[in-house]
Each structure stands twice: as C-alpha cells, then as structure tokens.
Structure 1
Amino acid sequence: MKTEGTLTVHTGRRGAELSDLFGIFFEDLNHAADGGLYAELVQNRSFEFDPIDKADYHALTAWEPVIRGDGQAVITVEDKEPLNARNLHYAVIDIVSEGGGVGIMNLGFNSGIPVKEGDNYKFSMYARRDNSWDTSLTVTIEGVDGTVYGAAEITVNSSEWDRYEAVIQADSTDNSSRLVILAGGSGKVCLDMVSLFPEKTFLNRPGGLREDLSVLLADMKPKFMRFPGGCLIHDGSLNPDDRNSMYRWKNTIGDIAQRPPRRNNWSYNQTLGLGYLEYFQFSEDIGAKPIPVLPGGYDPHHKRIVPLDELQPWIDDALDLIEFANGDSSTEWGGIRAGLGHPEPFGLEYIGIGNEEVGEPFFERYPYFHEAIKAKYPEIKVINSSGPFSAGKEYERGWASARANGSDLVDEHYYAAPEWFLANHHRYDEFKAGEPKVFLGEYASWGNTYYNALVEAAFMTGLQNNAHAVGLACYAPMLCNVDYVNWKPDMIWFNNHQAYGTANYYVQKLFMNHQGDQLLEMRSCGFAPAQAQEVQPITGAITLAVDASAARFSEISLVNNLTGEVKAYADLSGEVADLPDPALNGAAKRTLELGPTHWTDYTLSLKAVRTGGTKGFVLYFGKADEQNHLFWEIGGWQNQDSIVASIAQGRNSVLTHTLFTVESDVEYNLTLEVSGRQIRTYIDGELINETEDKLLVIEPLYYTASVEHSTGDMILKTVNMQEVSIAAEIVLEGLTDKRLSIEVYEMSGHQPEDENSFKQPMLVSPKQKALQTEGSSFVYEFPKQSVTVMRLR
C-alpha cells in the first residue's frame, strides 16, 4: 500500500500528564433530573408546582381527578396543616360519595408512567384522613383505557401524617400508564409526597437513578463529573429560603420530604430529589471525581449582589461543602454526611466558584472565596470563571482574575459552528504551562450529526496535545428529554423508557475510555499540506436592524480606507421598528438595507438612538445570504452585551464579547471597521470589540498519543476529516518489543449528516477489530472522515 506520509510516535519521550482531562457535566436543563436521571416516575409528587416555576403550572399540574361509578368528591390542594414547614401543599380528597371509588391520577412524564412486565415498583406516600380508618385506599398502575397492571391496598389509620409504602408488580409492559389512588369511605383523605420508583435503579439504590441513563454515563468512564449546572448556579434570589433562590447545596441534602421546592431557571420545577449527596454518590459509583460549582454571591442575569459585608455565609457554604465531602465523622458536616449513610469521605479535589460570570461584582467577590478556601484547604483546586464566550473583555477579565488570585483552573465555555472549531484547532498551543489551567467546562459544535462528532474529535486531539495548559474538558449539555427541550445539541437523548447516545457521545466515550495518563511525543511528515480556505476579505451586504426595539439611524456613511472613497446614505436614514411604534402608526419595519460592498478595507459609521423597546441595535455585514454573514449586536442578550458573531451555514459562532447596555433616547456613535478578516467596533470612540473571523483549516490528519501507566499500553487517536482515505506509515520510535497486539476502535463509513435515533441508536458508533504487527512500524489506511483509536499492547 502506497503511504502518503509518516506518523512517528517517540515512545520514550513523554510529555504532560493527562490527569483528569476528559469528563462529563450534569446540568439540570431539558428535564435532565426530574423526568430524567432521577428515577422518580411521579411528576409533581408533592403538589408544589407553581406559576413561579412556569406560567401555566399549578398545584395539580400532572394530576387529574378520578371519579368512578356514581362517586362524588371534591379535589383541592391545601396548606393549613402541612407535612412540614418546607412542604406546605398537599392534596385533599373530600369524599362526598365513594361510588366506585374517587381519587386522583398522576400522568407522569412524557407519554406517562413506563412499567415493564414482571418488574416491581416501590410506591410511597404521606397520608392522613379524618374518618373511615378501616377503609383502605387502592393504589393501581393502569393503562390509559383503565386496564390495571398492578395494585396495592393501603390502610391510612391515623389523622396525623404518616408514611406508607407498598410494592406493586406490573403484569404488563406499557410506557403510557398512570398511577391511580382511589379512596372509599367518607370524610377527607390528605396526600403528600406521592412517589413511585422502579425497584431496578442504578446499582439498585432505593430512590436512586434511572438505570439506562446511568449505565450510558458509567460506560464512558469519565475522569470527573461537574455539577449541578450551569446557569442555575447564579440565577436567582439571594435568599436561600426563596423558591427562586440561587442553587444552594444545603437545601438539597437530607430527607427528600424536607427538601424545598425550587424554581428551575429553565422554566420548570426542580424537586431537589437529586441533590448533593446523590451527586457525590453517583460520581463515586462511576469512578468520576466530583466537581461541584457554587454561586459567588452575584446574579448577573438580574444584577442581584451580595454586599461584601454579608458575603461570609456564602463563603461558609463553600467551606462547609468541602467538609461535607472530605471531613471525617467527628466534624460537623462530615458527621452530617455520615448520618446520611456515607461514613467514608468522598475525596473532593476540585471546587468551582461561579459559572459563566461577567461583570465586576463577581470578580470583586471571587478573591474572598479563593483566599478562604486556600487558607483552610490548600490542597483543593479552585476554579475561576471566564464568561460564556471564547474571547472578549469579560473573558480577559476572568483570566486576569485567575492570574492575580492564583486560581488553579479557569472555566471556559463556548458553543460554536463546526467551522469555528476547525479554525481554532490550535487555540491552546501558545498557552503557558505555568499559568492557571483551562477547564473547558462547556463546549459543543452546533449539531448531533456525524460531522459534528468528527469535528469535535479533531478538536479534542488538540485539547489532549495541550495537556500542559488544558486540565479538564467536558462536552455540554449532557442529557435531554425529547419532550422537554430547552437547549440542543445534547450528548444523550431520552424519553420515559428509551435512551441513546449521539455520535458526539461515542466520540467522548472513545476519548475517555482510551485517554491514557501521559502524552507521548508524536510527529508527522510527508503529508500534503493542510487544506485552508482561500483567504477572502469580508465583503457582502450591510444591513442595519433592531431586536425587540425601535431605533432611529442617521448620518450613515461607508468609507473605503484604501482609496478614501465615501458612500453616504442620507436617503436611507430613518426609523426602524421591531415592535409596533406609535410614531409609525403601528407599521413594523425591521431593517435598513445599505446594499452590498466589495471593498476589502472599510469603515461604517452612523448615529443610532433607541426610541423604544428593551434591547438595542444589530449591524449585519459580510452578508452572502441569510445563512452566511457576520453581525455586530449592541445591547443584545438581556441588553447587556456587545458581541461580534459569525454565521456559517446557519450556525452561530460568537467571536468576541463585551458588556454594554443601550439606553433609550441616547444617541450613540457607532463605528465598524473591517480590514480583510479583522474586525473592530467602537461606541462613542471607545474600542469595544476586536477580533478576527478565522477561516477553517483542515489538516491532513489530527493525532495525539499517550501511554497508560497501569497497563503500559500506548494509545493513538487519529481523526481524518478529509473526504478521501489516507494511508500512513506509523513508526514506533524507540520500541524494543517488536511484536505488538493492536486493538482498533473506529468510527467510519457514515455520511456527514447521519444521526443516531431511538430507531437506530447505534447507527453512528465505533466498531472494534484487532491487528498484529511484527515490527516497530506498520501501515494503516485511515478511512475518509473517520475517528480511529489504537491501543497498542
């Protein structure tokens, strides 16, 4: 076979330790916890749903009254005599006439409650009644047509709250069943914390986690798990007792009946049944190091700020969490952990403060956390934040804070088009080993296709090769319930009874299963040069627009910086409205079209005034069509940002980000400079954004090599992004044992647009084969558009 180049692995030259490089990130969005990883089958089990969580929620959401025969009853929710001070609401069945039975029915999540023939389900509830103590309640699992799949009788024999349990065995399989509770006799029956769990949970833990999702995650063998989010870390009230408070870990431990209901900031209810003890336990169960992330006393979404002289309780939360995780039973919080059934410490090594933080208030408060943690627990690695984007003034502020405070890692986040990831493959090559390390805490390319997974695999070889600077990395988001989508793409998709890993999942799994412990030097030679797009300057149509606002644009001009030619647009200046504006008699006009330009070095300047609405202005430029252009958005998300972004094939990549808020009836001088592919923006003469829209480059092969200390195995990962196969000679320089057994795990033979699904859950997944070699070199043909992992024994 004719080879096109050589990949040389210098088996004796070892580089950076890979440590805990590749892991996973749990965030409770897309119903990832309730209705997802947390195996509870009853939705709204404690009757605590509320419009605060979601506008159409109420205390009986997911519940329906059941009236059979000539029965009569009134179903209400009360709070006069609650189960406890944190769980105020309970259902009341006021029996007027028992007839054939009266009560309530829970609809579960998705299509209903899934049950499997022969499996057992653990039912529990708190109940009391004021009469008919000898008359039992009937609890059934039923089909939509009323067919009973299993039943239990429970006698509520007290007027005081008590907990009742039963085990129900299903005699049929149905993914759309209901839980029905029927009462007889007379008087009132009160119910709370109505629960149904499959007996088969992950590792059979009572009240535990959904088995299929847990197994998918355990099979990845992640080095760490970051939790519990995400935006819910810092979005909410500063009062821990408020329903819409920031996520406070102390509310999530202990008796689940005592855990308060919480508004999830992704617009649903969060029971907190999956809490901090469960996160730590699951991390331990799957061999992943826990990485909890705590709020830093600032909500950038709503500008809620903890005064500095009131910050100590927040710092104490961090210190107490470390003690909860690592303290022995003689300590206060270690004793609490032991009392909850886990006497051994969890061995916490990392803690994060803040998530995607922007703004001076967070970075003013971060040092107080950092200093307190390091003073008491110097061995704990503390993670700082650098905002939601890959570049810009807030990103730089985060890194400056990390350097100044000696943070161990900096949490970087970015979601971008595949083209951005290919253009930025060498992003970390110049990062220095002696500085805080990168924790790439959230990243993904837009999509769950095979092509997205290929691109991410290529990028991950760069993460591994830069292990001197990149300490941790995890794809996000991790889980998505198909009927409750807040965000996509996602790594694992599921409904109430099925789950599948995406192509992205299988790439992540390959890199985790075969990470290795230390880099081996690897070099290439002889291959054709990288395929780079021809560098074209940014040209195309220019458009002025608004987003949820109305604005007036004036004194618009475009200057050719090379020739001095000026194009004025006085005839186009005017009012633009996204929302109906009384001044326009209700007419709505979104854009002012300035037309195309072929100039390669130009300056656009204008004056802009917001005359109404809640956001700001958008300047589109370099526009080829609706799917391919760039834009500068001023007063964007929550009217807090100035960003420059690129749209490629309809997919967004934010190139740079700065804080900026647009005020109404204030005139702004806006200037956009474009030179080749360099972009600068100014507001009132001040440089706000500076960036480059890099074009993608496809290298002949993307590769990395490592050694696994426990086995001595060498691991080679290679990604071929090209549309042709590439034959390469692989040379193992310095190898003394001439005979090798090679395990090959390969993803290939798929169309770029292929995606896994419930019908074809493993359409895109690795195949395994074995090779033997008698020498220190061998030839391998890497299929077109493939991911290949070789484990050389």
Structure 2
Amino acid sequence: MKDTKLTVTNELTAPLNDLFGIFFEDINHAADGGLYAEMVQNRSFEFAPIDNSDYQATTAWELSDPQSLRVADKDPLNTKNLHYLTVDAKQTATITNAGFNSGMFYQQGEQYNFSFFVKALNGTQEVTVQLTGDSGKKIAAPQSITVESHQWLKYSAQFTAEQTTTTGRLVLTFPEGTRILVDMISLFPKNTFNHRPNYVRADLGETLKDLHPKFLRFPGGCLVHDGQLDPDNRGAMYRWKNSIGPVEQRPARRNNWGYNQTLGLGYFEYFELSEDIGAEPLPVLPGAHDPHHDREAPIAQLGDWIDDALDLIEFANGSENSKWGKVRVALGHPKPFNLKYLAIGNEEVGQAFFDRYPYFHKAIKAKYPNIKLINTSGPFAAGAEFERGWKSARENHSDLVDEHYYTAPTWFLANQHRYDSYDPKGPKAFIGEYASKKNQWYNAVVEASYMTGLERNADKVGLACYAPLFCNVDYKDWTPDLIFFNQSEVSPSVNYYVQQLFMKYQGTNNVDYHLANVPEAKVIDDGPLNDGLSPQADGTDVKFENIRLTANGQTKQFKGQSLSEKQTIRVGSTDADDYEVAFDVTKVGDEPKGAHFCFGEQDLDDTFTWVLGGWGNTDSMIRTMTNGMDTDWTQTSWTMNKNQTYHCQIKVSGRHITTWIDGEKMNEIEIPPFVVQPMYTNLTYDKKASQYYFKAVNVTDKQQEITLDTDLFADGSLYQLTGLPDAENHLGMTNQIERRNVPFSGHQFILPPYSVSVLMSTKQFRTQ
C-alpha cells in the first residue's frame, strides 16, 4: 500500500472567525454552588417549594432555637428580596450554614470576605461571626460585629483561615436578648478570578480561560425560556434586567433544573467573564414563548420583550450618554462590551415562537443592523421542528441557526459530511449544544473527528460549543459535561482537552490541501434494520393490540400486550430487509408519558425504537440505542391522549424508516451507514500567530501514518493527546490520558491509536 501523503496548495480559503466557544447554563449547580464564588447557600432566605418541593425558607441553615429564629416578610430589605431572619433571642442562639457539597472550603492563609444586612430593633447589638470545621473547630479568629442602626445597613468583616478544611461552616451567634433582622448573609473568597467583587471562583475561571474560547453563550439553555411571562413572577423566565445591579436587589428565581437561582451571577458578570477569558459574549434571550408549558405573550404585547432585546444591546454597546449605557458605566464598565451576537429563543418548538420571531428580528435589525441574530431549530438534529426552524431562518434572513444534538458516537461518525451540503449563501449553522453521551476518551476522539468537519465547513458553520460546561459532582442533573468540580477541586474531562486543542489551535483561515492514498474506510454497520420486535411502556400504562408483521409477502399476527412502567415484551422477530409492522396502541395511564415500539432489536442496549409521546408526551421520534447510548434521529410534535386508540404503522426498507399514525406520516429517516475513516484531518493558518496548524484524528485501534510532502512543519512542534478508549478523568484522577507537547522534525507524521494531534509550524509569514 502506498503511503498516505499530504500535499499543501497553500491557498487560504474560508475564515474560521469565532468558530469554537463555550456554553454556560446553570445546570448541575454550575452557577450557585459552582462558578459563582458565593459560599453561603440560601443567603437571603428565599428558597421556596417553587424551586424544589423539599425547599423552605431555612433550607441549608441549621437553627439552634427555632423559637428565637424565624423567617418573616413584613419589613423586607427591599421589594425584590422579601424574606429575612428575625432574631429574638430568648437565650443564646446560633445559625449555621455549610454551603454546598460536604461543607465550605477554607484554605490556610486565604482571606474570606463576610457581609450581611442587619436592622437593629432595640439599641446596640453584638453578633459573633465564626468560620469553623464541621465539628466546631476554629478555622479563623472569631469576629464580633456591633449593630446599632435601626435601618437596614450592610456590615462586613474579613477572615484569614488558619487551617484548611473542606467541611467548613459559617456560624453566627446571637447573645440572649438580641433583637435584630438579618438578611443577605454572604461569604466570598477574597481571591476570586481577576479579583473582581461578586464574581467567579478563581480556579474555575482559570479553567475556562485556559480553553481559549472564541465566544461564551449564556445564560442557557432551557432555563432561559422555561417560566412565567410576568418578569416579577417568582417563576418567571430569565429576564436579564432582573440580573444586574446590587445583588441584594436581584430577585431569586426558580431554576427549571430543580433548585434556586440567586442571579448573583448575572448579565453584567457574564459580560465581564467573556471579556476576562477573551471570548465574544453571546447572550440568549427568551422570545416571549415557553415551549415547556405552551405559554406565550400575545403578539400585540411583544413590545416589552422586544425592548428587552434592544435595551440589552444598548447596555452592552451604548455610549455613556445612552440610557442603558449609563447603567453599564455606573456598574463599573465605562467601555462598551462590543456585543456582536444575540440569540432569540432556545430549542423552540411549535409555530407560536416562529410567529413571534420576525417581530424581534425586524426591530433589532432596523436599529442594530450589524448584530448577528441567531434563530433556533429545536432540540433535534432532524425532523419537522428542525425544518420549521430553518424555514423561519431563511425567510427572515437570520444570520445563524442554533442546532442541538446529544447523540451516541455512531451518529457523529455517520454524519461527518452533514454540513457539506448546507448552502454557504444561507444562514450559517450554530451548533449551540452537542456531545456524544459519555466522558470517555473514545467519545472525545469521535467528537474531535467531527470538529475537523466543522472546521472544513467554516463557510457554512459559524459557531459550535460543547454542552453542558460544568457539573458539581454532588448535584448531577445531566451528563456528560466538560468540567467537573466540587467545593475544592476541579477535574477537566478528557473531552475538555479536545475542545482546548481545537480552540487554542483553531487558526483564522482554512488552507487548501490534499491527502492522497488514504486507506479505505471501515464500515461498522450498514446492514438492514431487522431482528426483534418489542412493544414497551414508557412510564405509564399502555395497551398494544393487533400487532402484525408483514414480510416476504406474508403477514403474521402477534398477541396483544398490556404493559406498565418500563415493561418490555419481545413478541417476535424478522430477518427480512424490508418489512412493515402495524399495531394499535392505547394509553390508559395518567402520567405525561407514552409508549415505545422497538424493532431491529438485538437487545435493549442495541435497538431501533419508535418513541410515541417522548419528551413528556410531546413528540413522535425515531431513536436508536447503540451500546446503551441513545440517539434521536428525527422528530415530529405529537401527543398521545388517554383512552384514545391509535393505528400505527412502521415501514422499513433497508435502512429507510417511515412511520404513520392514523394514516398521517409522522417520521421519515434514512439511517446512514456507520463508517470509520482511518483519519480525519484539516489544515488551518493563523494570521495573528503566523503559524499553520494541521490537525489529525485517529479513532481506530491501529496506528496511522502520513507522509508530509511539504516543509511547512520542518522544525515545528507536535501537541498530541492519546489514551485508552475507556479512559475517563475524575476528581483526584485528572490525568487519565497522555498529553505530549514535543518538537517535530522530518516528514513522517505518526497517529497513534485513539489519538488527537496537531502539528504546528514555526512562524510562516504570508503576503496573502
């Protein structure tokens, strides 16, 4: 076999611009108890059952004497922060807060800034503040704070830790006879990222900066549009104006991931963070539509929502003489943030959003024509809602369209050329959320292979970011994630290092090149979708009847099944390449769930499934399970009503799947073959660094080689990531893959099994 040979024509092609960035959403306690450096949980006594059914106003606090210590709302600090603690000490009383995880992290020699708001009710009062371990052991010298104002007033103190602990406590002691009101009890490490007040953890901020992201998408995610329409409602959608200004005046809000969101980390802090890590800010605003609860503002009442978008742009970019520019200046940032991107909506489904989007688009473009507006195409990689979003984007001339997909590695391998056929003259794709289901090295390598395709299609793909970004290991809502942490440690996932490689060595332009004599691709799966047939309940009671298989000119009837919970019964199988399955299904349970019908089933970890009433009984989807990892290939909005019988049909022709319900076509998809190329590559040039970057990914278990028919990389360097397919970083075990940065010379480029590599040239100045 001839050597695989790289030839470089050296012509610069598509610019990569801000291609690779990051996405922050407060999921997995990514903000409160995470990136946001506040150490006190429930600092303002605003936790409530609307956040979580287990929450109450004193959640996370230990009260020594409930008779002396009660939460009230008659004399609040302000109208946005209604609850506070009343202290009427019949005897010496204490309140204790352990923060998040197993306790607060105090590090010997580090300083901590304490503050609280207090209103005295009868003369001068004394409050003792202590930092302790979980057993009460002193961590820092106690401090006594004298309270004498009969108006709400902020008091502060600073502590220096004398010991290190991860089970720390904050303790406030009130002597007998104390009568005061207390609110906004806060403790921050003095050493925050870039030493800003009310800011982010230094270690997590540095971990983000080390990625070298080109943009930061924030603040979500589903939490942006999940909520009530009234901005003053405790369960409102995320409205950016609620998240700026003094933290004590920011209203707490329900986080749809099942906990409280203080909004201490708000829009001003997100803009600052973008600036501090060298990323373009990319805010996401709600489009007056909540697809989770089918609520939307009437079109005639969109004015306030559109004004929110226009005011945000003025806040970010306006002069110091503009209304919202003045607000930014007053917050401490005289210079504009130079906002370039703005997204309206997130994972929107249903016509209601797309009826409203044009009003936002026209108003924003009329006043700010240079802002790049991002439309949405729902939470699926294909299907009716996906097409609805792209249709809206083309009709409204959106600059980008937000695509989301979380799939098994096989989907990424099968879709390496997904964007080859996109129109370079139309809106660009923004892959706003993606991941391949696990945090193992094989998944990361497959993601790297896909990212080379995103680079190659930079004329059609504008932006891309892995998701989610953060996970506090004691509060997991979603996996996989890019960065894991607790109160004292940080563990970047193996996927993190792939993202870092592509961001740091992205380059500014693609370069034309050619690979000759590339070995043949290996086909993992290109066969027919046949094998077992299994009806399945999906968390509610369902009844299957009249199950029929037609294959090879014959029809076979199977026994009906009544199923509950996640019950599955295999009723038959087929070895035909082309076949049809028909059945009647009735939902008899009350839960907001539906039913599944598995076909081509080898076992429950490897099967094709028609999902009827997925995602909370809102969708009809075609799903695959591959090695226990699911992928939703296509989707149509559909709901299964209780006690209504549906006549369903699946037609399989080779790898083509079509479904109907009551004669109406629901889903249609061609499952592409799962193919592994021996290598995935791309070549870029960085005009700022005057360097070439040649990236090469090997997802196979065999070493690959490339002969370089160019001197571009003579006396260059090589950065290479290698590891076992199941390697996975954990807290305390953060180096499960090998990262090599070594000099490179010669013309033989070796790609070890399961590796991600980048060759870097020395400085090569170009006139072009």
Q: TM-score, normalised by structure 1?
A: 0.94
Contact 1:502–1:764 (CA<8 Å) still a contact in 2? no
Separation in structure 1 between the aligned mates of residue 28 and residue 90 of structure 2, nearest angstrom: 41
Residue of structure 2 in register with 1:320 after alignment: 311
Shift of 1:600: 1.2
Choose the corresponding residue for 2:667, options 668, 671, 689.
Answer: 689
Contact 1:73–1:93 (CA<8 Å) still a contact in 2? no
Separation in structure 2 between the aligned mates of residue 227 and residue 302 of structure 1, nearest angstrom: 22
Residue of structure 2 in register with 1:284 after alignment: 275
Choose the corresponding residue for 2:36, options 22, 35, 38.
Answer: 38
Corresponding residue SS for 1:155: strand
Contact 1:22–1:512 (CA<8 Å) still a contact in 2? yes
Choose the corresponding residue for 2:221, options 208, 215, 230.
Answer: 230
> Which of 697-706 and 606-615 deviates more?
606-615
Choose the corresponding residue for 2:129, options 139, 149, 164.
Answer: 139
Separation in structure 1 between the aligned mates of residue 738 and residue 318 of structure 2, nearest angstrom: 42
Choose the corresponding residue for 1:759, options 723, 732, 752.
Answer: 732
Corresponding residue SS for 1:729: strand
In the alignment, structure 1 residue 728 sits paired with structure 2 residue 706? yes
Residue of structure 1 in register with 2:111 after alignment: 120
Identity of aligned residues (%): 47
In the alignment, structure 1 residue 743 sits paired with structure 2 residue 717? yes
Separation in structure 2 between the aligned mates of residue 546 and residue 148 of structure 1, nearest angstrom: 55
Shift of 1:574: 4.6
Contact 2:526–2:674 (CA<8 Å) still a contact in 1? no
Contact 1:386–1:398 (CA<8 Å) still a contact in 2? yes
Structure 2 alignment gaps of length 5 or more: 763-768
Partner amino acid for 2:744?
Answer: L
534 and 439 in structure 1: CA distance in 2 versus 1, 3 angstrom threshold: closer
Choose the corresponding residue for 1:304, options 295, 315, 320.
Answer: 295
Choose the corresponding residue for 1:604, options 576, 581, 589.
Answer: 581
Tell me the alpha carbon deviations over residues 506-558 of structure 1, each in whole angstroms, 9 at most, x when there is no partner. 00000000000000012211122111125210111111122233333323211
Tell me the alpha carbon deviations over residues 677-727 of structure 1, each in whole angstroms, 9 at most, x when there is no partner. 110001111111001222321112100010000122111000011211112
In the alignment, structure 1 residue 339 sits paired with structure 2 residue 330? yes
Choose the corresponding residue for 1:564, options 528, 553, 557.
Answer: 553
Contact 2:128–2:145 (CA<8 Å) still a contact in 1? yes
Partner amino acid for 1:757?
Answer: H
Residue of structure 1 in register with 2:766 after alignment: none
Partner amino acid for 1:8?
Answer: T
Corresponding residue SS for 1:395: helix
Separation in structure 2 between the aligned mates of residue 350 and residue 591 of structure 1, nearest angstrom: 47
Separation in structure 1 between the aligned mates of residue 436 and residue 546 of structure 2, nearest angstrom: 39
Partner amino acid for 1:327?
Answer: G
Corresponding residue SS for 2:68: strand
Residue of structure 2 in register with 1:413 after alignment: 404
Contact 2:713–2:760 (CA<8 Å) still a contact in 1? no
Tell me the alpha carbon deviations over residues 72-112 of structure 1, each in whole angstroms, 9 at most, x when there is no partner. 962111111110111111112221123xxx22111110011
| 1:139-178 map, 5 Å | 139-150=129-140, 151-178=142-169
Residue of structure 2 in register with 1:581 after alignment: none
Separation in structure 1 between the aligned mates of residue 208 and residue 589 of structure 2, nearest angstrom: 48
Separation in structure 2 between the aligned mates of residue 772 and residue 318 of structure 1, nearest angstrom: 52
In the alignment, structure 1 residue 575 sits paired with structure 2 residue 535? no
Contact 1:353–1:366 (CA<8 Å) still a contact in 2? yes
Residue of structure 2 in register with 1:582 after alignment: none
Tell me the alpha carbon deviations over residues 439-474 of structure 1, each in whole angstroms, 9 at most, x when there is no partner. 000000011111111010001001001101000000
Separation in structure 1 between the aligned mates of residue 560 and residue 147 of structure 2, nearest angstrom: 75
Shift of 1:132: 5.0
Q: How many residues align?
A: 760
Tell me the alpha carbon deviations over residues 254-300 of structure 1, each in whole angstroms, 9 at most, x when there is no partner. 01000001000000000000000000010011110000000011111
Contact 1:545–1:617 (CA<8 Å) still a contact in 2? yes
Contact 1:503–1:765 (CA<8 Å) still a contact in 2? no
In the alignment, structure 1 residue 471 sits paired with structure 2 residue 458? no
Contact 1:747–1:786 (CA<8 Å) still a contact in 2? yes
Separation in structure 1 between the aligned mates of residue 160 and residue 700 of structure 2, nearest angstrom: 54
Shift of 1:668: 1.4
322 and 739 in structure 1: CA distance in 2 versus 1, 3 angstrom threshold: closer
Shift of 1:220: 0.9
Residue of structure 2 in register with 1:626 after alignment: 604
Contact 1:131–1:186 (CA<8 Å) still a contact in 2? no
> Which of 461-470 and 662-671 deviates more?
662-671
Separation in structure 2 between the aligned mates of residue 555 and residue 724 of structure 1, nearest angstrom: 50
Residue of structure 2 in register with 1:5 after alignment: 4
Shift of 1:421: 0.8
| 1:453-472 map, 5 Å | 453-472=444-463
Separation in structure 2 between the aligned mates of residue 349 and residue 577 of structure 1, nearest angstrom: 51
Corresponding residue SS for 2:403: strand
Contact 1:3–1:727 (CA<8 Å) still a contact in 2? no
In the alignment, structure 1 residue 81 sits paired with structure 2 residue 75? yes
In the alignment, structure 1 residue 93 sits paired with structure 2 residue 93? no
Choose the corresponding residue for 1:403, options 382, 394, 417.
Answer: 394
Contact 2:2–2:517 (CA<8 Å) still a contact in 1? no
Separation in structure 1 between the aligned mates of residue 182 and residue 259 of structure 2, nearest angstrom: 22
Residue of structure 1 in register with 2:266 after alignment: 275
Corresponding residue SS for 2:211: coil
Residue of structure 2 in register with 1:703 after alignment: 681
Structure 1 alignment gaps of length 5 or more: 579-588
In the alignment, structure 1 residue 181 sits paired with structure 2 residue 172? yes
Choose the corresponding residue for 1:106, options 77, 88, 97.
Answer: 97
36 and 574 in structure 1: CA distance in 2 versus 1, 3 angstrom threshold: closer
Please provide the CA RMSD for this pair: 1.5
Residue of structure 1 in register with 2:348 after alignment: 357
Separation in structure 1 between the aligned mates of residue 517 and residue 546 of structure 2, nearest angstrom: 56
Separation in structure 2 between the aligned mates of residue 537 and residue 480 of structure 1, nearest angstrom: 39
Tell me the alpha carbon deviations over residues 476-516 of structure 1, each in whole angstroms, 9 at most, x when there is no partner. 00000001110000000000010011110000000000000
Separation in structure 1 between the aligned mates of residue 185 and residue 384 of structure 2, nearest angstrom: 50
Corresponding residue SS for 2:76: coil
Corresponding residue SS for 2:230: coil
Partner amino acid for 1:145?
Answer: S
Contact 2:126–2:145 (CA<8 Å) still a contact in 1? yes
Shift of 1:383: 0.2
| 1:324-723 map, 5 Å | 324-533=315-524, 535-560=526-551, 563-569=552-558, 572-578=559-565, 590-613=567-590, 614-723=592-701
Corresponding residue SS for 2:715: strand
Separation in structure 1 between the aligned mates of residue 713 and residue 67 of structure 2, nearest angstrom: 79
Shift of 1:608: 2.0
Tell me the alpha carbon deviations over residues 29-53 of structure 1, each in whole angstroms, 9 at most, x when there is no partner. 0000001000000000001000110
Corresponding residue SS for 2:319: coil
Contact 1:132–1:185 (CA<8 Å) still a contact in 2? no
Contact 1:183–1:189 (CA<8 Å) still a contact in 2? no
Separation in structure 2 between the aligned mates of residue 420 and residue 65 of structure 1, nearest angstrom: 52
299 and 191 in structure 1: CA distance in 2 versus 1, 3 angstrom threshold: same
Partner amino acid for 1:144?
Answer: D
Partner amino acid for 1:670?
Answer: C
608 and 97 in structure 1: CA distance in 2 versus 1, 3 angstrom threshold: closer
Separation in structure 2 between the aligned mates of residue 763 and residue 606 of structure 1, nearest angstrom: 49
